[in-house]
């Protein structure tokens, strides 16, 4: 029996522009790039594209998570600075991103999203002391 029901397709957001992608992954825009109009638009785009952006970013930047993850997905209760956005709200002293991820106890979660641990430093790294070099 025929029916007059119509299926509605979900409205799909078009792909991110280079400016929007940069804003979500690095937290800034370059001159001439257009970003998001509002914070709510940026947050919605992060939720829509994070499964693609996180592994892609982590592949290019081992030991680091994208700005959007720090801004929207990192455990809020661990942030010590409400005025700073992104990684720097969680960082203590000169802590690396990897050190911060370990301290927060979210390494397994980050790995499940595509995080890659940084390569260990080579044993051939020269121990350079600037004070001894110029005496």
Residue 135 in any domain: the answer is: no
Domain interval for residue 31: 18-113
pLDDT for res 22: 92
Cβ–Cβ contacts within 10 Å for residue 119, how many? 8
Which of the four pLDDT bands, split at 50, 70 and 90, describes residue 134? low
Per residue in 9-39, pLDDT tens? 555 557 899 999 999 999 888 888 888 999 8
The set of residues, in sequence order, having a beta carbon less than 8 Å from that of 88 and lying 6+ positions away, is 81
Residue 30 in any domain: the answer is: yes
Residue 3 in any domain: the answer is: no
Distance CA 59, CA 75 (A): 23
Per residue in 69-79, pLDDT tens? 988 888 777 67
pLDDT for res 95: 82
Distance CA 63, CA 91 (A): 14
Residue 10 in any domain: the answer is: no
How many domains does the chain contain in total?
1
Mean pLDDT of the chain: 81
The set of residues, in sequence order, having a beta carbon less than 8 Å from that of 120 and lying 6+ positions away, is none
Residue 32 in any domain: the answer is: yes
Residue 119 in any domain: the answer is: no
């Amino acid at each position: 029996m025929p029916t007059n029901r119509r299926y509605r397709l979900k409205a799909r957001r078009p792909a991110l522009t280079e400016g929007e992608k940069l804003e979500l992954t690095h937290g800034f825009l370059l001159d001439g790039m257009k970003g998001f109009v509002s914070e709510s638009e940026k947050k919605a785009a992060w939720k829509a594209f994070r499964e693609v952006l996180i592994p892609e970013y982590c592949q290019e930047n081992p030991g680091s998570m994208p700005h959007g993850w720090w801004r929207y997905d990192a455990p809020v209760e661990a942030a010590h600075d409400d005025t700073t956005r992104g990684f720097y709200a969680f960082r203590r002293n000169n802590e690396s991103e990897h050190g911060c991820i370990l301290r927060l106890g979210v390494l397994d979660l980050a790995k499940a999203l595509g995080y890659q641990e940084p390569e260990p430093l080579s044993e051939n790294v020269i121990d350079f002391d600037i004070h001894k070099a110029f005496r």
